[in-house]
Amino acid sequence: MIRNMEALHDYLYERFSSIEELEFMDTDHFKYYVGNDPGMDEPVQVKIDRKSMKIYYRSPADDTWIEEQMDAPAFADTPKPEHRELMEMIADKLKVIFIAGDVWHDATIFFNGQAYKSGQAEADEYVNPTDYVAYCNPETVTVTYEGRLNRAMNEGEYNPDTGLTDWTVYVNAQKMLESYGYYFSLINNFSFTIYPI
Whole-structure pTM value: 0.60
171 in the Ramachandran plot: left (φ > 0), alpha (ψ -120 to 50) or beta? alpha
Task: Specify the pLDDT at position 1.
Answer: 42
Return the amino acid letter for 6.
E
Reported as half-sphere exposure (CB side, CA atoms, 13 A), residue 88 has a value of 9
Angle 36-66-23 from CA coordinates, rounded to 5°: 55
**pLDDT tens readout for residues 37-81:** 776 677 888 888 877 778 888 887 777 888 877 654 444 445 567
Task: Specify the pLDDT at position 165.
Answer: 87
